[in-house]
Amino acid sequence: MQEMSNEASVALSAEVASKSEQIWVGVRLRPLNDAEKRSRNNSCWHVTSATSLKQSEVLGDRVSKSSITGDITTYTFDRVFSAETDSTTVYNDAAQRIVISGMQGINGTIFAYGQTSSGKTHTMKSIVSSGIKEVFEHIHNTPSREFLLHIAAMEIYNEVCRDLLKDSGASVRLLDDPERGTVAEGLTEEPVRSLEHLLQLVADAETRRQVGAHALNRNSSRSHQIIRLTIESRIPNKPTPAASAGGVAECSGLLLSSLNFVDLAGSERYSGTGANGQRLKEGCHINQSLLALGKVIRALTDGKSVAHVPYRDSKLTRILQHSLGGNARTAIVCTVSPAIEHLDQSKKTLGFAAAAKMVVNCAQVNEVQDDKALILRYQAEIAQLQEALAIARRQGGAAPASAHLQEQEQHLSKVEGEMRGVAAAREQAERRLRNLNNFILRAPSMASSDGERNQTLPVRGRALRGSWARTSWQPQHPLAAKEGSQPQSSPLYGLDLRASWAAPERRARAGCSDAADHISVASDEEWSSLSAGVAGFGGILPGETMLLDLVVPGLRERRRRQSKTSLSKKSSESMREYAQVPLVRLMLSLSRPHPLPLIS
Ligand SMILES: Nc1ncnc2c1ncn2[C@@H]1O[C@H](COP(=O)(O)OP(=O)(O)OP(=O)(O)O)[C@@H](O)[C@H]1O
The mean-pLDDT minimum among 71-80, 278-287, 435-444 falls in 435-444
Residue 533 has pLDDT above 60, yes or no: no
Q: Using the predicted structure, report yes or no on whether residue 394 has a pLDDT greater than 80.
A: no
Tens-place pLDDT, residues 476-505: 332 223 333 333 323 333 333 333 323 344
Nearest to 428 by CA among 472, 373, 371: 371
Question: Greater confidence, 599 or 16?
Answer: 16
Q: Is the pLDDT of residue 262 over 60?
A: yes
347 in a labelled binding site:
no
**Looking at ligand 1, which atom is closest to the CA of residue 214?**
26
Distance 125 CA to ligand 1 centre (A): 10
Segment 588-600, tens digit of pLDDT: 333 333 332 222 2
The rounded distance, in Å, linking the Cα atoms of 73 and 53 is 9
Is residue 211 within 8 A of residue 220, CB to CB? The reply is yes
pLDDT at 31 over 80: yes
Note the pLDDT of residue 273: 54
Pairwise pLDDT comparison (384 vs 598), residue with the higher score: 384
- Ligand 1 near 513 CB (within 6 A): no
- Contact between 375 and 426 under an 8 Å Cβ cutoff? The reply is yes
Taking the centre of ligand 1 as the mean of its atom positions, its distance from the CA of residue 517, in whole angstroms, is 55
Instruction: Say if ligand 1 is within 6 A of residue 9 CB.
Output: no
To the nearest whole percent, how much of the chain has pLDDT over 70? 55
Alpha-carbon separation of residue 528 from 302, 523, 581 (angstroms): 64, 9, 19
Whether ligand 1 lies within 6 angstroms of the CB of 314 is answered as no
Distances (CA, A) of 401 to 385, 412, 415, 573: 16, 15, 20, 80
Closest atom, ligand 1, to C-alpha of 87:
1
Atom of ligand 1 nearest to the CA of 217: 26
pLDDT, mean of residues 125-130: 96
Is 125 annotated as ligand-binding?
Answer: no
Backbone φ and ψ of 550, nearest 5°: -115, 120
- 407-418 confidence digits (pLDDT tens): 878 888 887 877
- Flag whether 369 is marked binding: no
Three-state DSSP state, 334: strand
Q: Chain-wide mean pLDDT for the chain? A: 68
CB 542 within 8 A of CB 566: no
Closest to 499 measured CA to CA, from 574, 561, 557, 555: 574
3-state helix vs strand vs coil in the chain, percent to 5: 40, 25, 35
Residue 11 vs residue 162, higher pLDDT: 162
pLDDT level of residue 509 (50, 70, 90 thresholds): very low
Give distance in angstroms: CA of 276 to centre of ligand 1. Answer: 22
- Cα–Cα–Cα angle for 219, 224, 228, nearest 5°? 115
Digit-coded pLDDT (tens) for 328-339:
999 999 999 998
Q: Which one of 121, 262, 286 would you pick to mutate in the ligand 1 pocket, going by the greatest count of ligand atoms within 8 A of its CB?
A: 121
188 or 421, which is more confident?
188
Question: Hey, whose CA ends up nearest to atom 12 of ligand 1?
Answer: 119
Of 317-321, 494-498, 541-545, give the range with the top mean pLDDT.
317-321
Is the Cβ–Cβ distance between 77 and 331 less than 8 Å?
no
The pLDDT of residue 319 is above 80: yes
Model confidence pLDDT, tens digit, residues 547-587: 333 333 344 444 454 444 333 333 443 333 333 322 233 33
ipTM over 0.85: yes
Which atom in ligand 1 lies closest to the alpha carbon of residue 83?
1
